[in-house]
Amino acid sequence: MNNIPLILISILVLIMVFGIFALHATKIRREEFKKTGKHPKGHYLGRGIALGVAMGNIAIGIGIGIPLGVATGSTWEKKHTDSLRPLTAAEEKLKTQTFLLLTASMLVGVLVFFAINSIMH
């Protein structure tokens, strides 16, 4: 029972880190779009995957939603090839940082799960 405040604080810190990171990422993407008028390669694929995850959670199941989202995003990428540009150095760095942040948050999530599990038993 003593670990519950620590767990809640950890979750709150993670939410704040994600929020700050999301604002930073949005700023970089918006600045690049203003310069070029084009989205980075993978933009439409990401939107398709997000749509698939939403569809999977709401109506059709995550196992069907994500592949549908990937297919939709790939179709959009092919359709909008002329409005895409390669990733800039800043966006490549952001992509690596995003991967590291998500990996770290998954590890924290696993640790929190085991902490909660040990408290309950």
pLDDT above 70: residue 41: yes
pLDDT at 96: 92
- Low-confidence winner among 46-60, 71-85, 90-104 (lowest mean pLDDT): 46-60
pLDDT at 118: 79
Give the closest residue to 67 by CA, choosing from 81, 42, 48, 80. 48
| Pairwise CA distance, residues 83 & 23, whole Å | 24
CB-CB contact of 52 with 70 (8 Å): yes
Query: What is the reported pTM?
Result: 0.68
- Rg of the chain's alpha carbons, rounded to an integer? 18
Give the closest residue to 50 by CA, choosing from 72, 77, 28. 72
Residue 86, phi then psi, degrees to nearest 5: -65, 160
pLDDT at 93: 92
Question: E strand or H helix at 4, and its extent?
Answer: helix 4-36
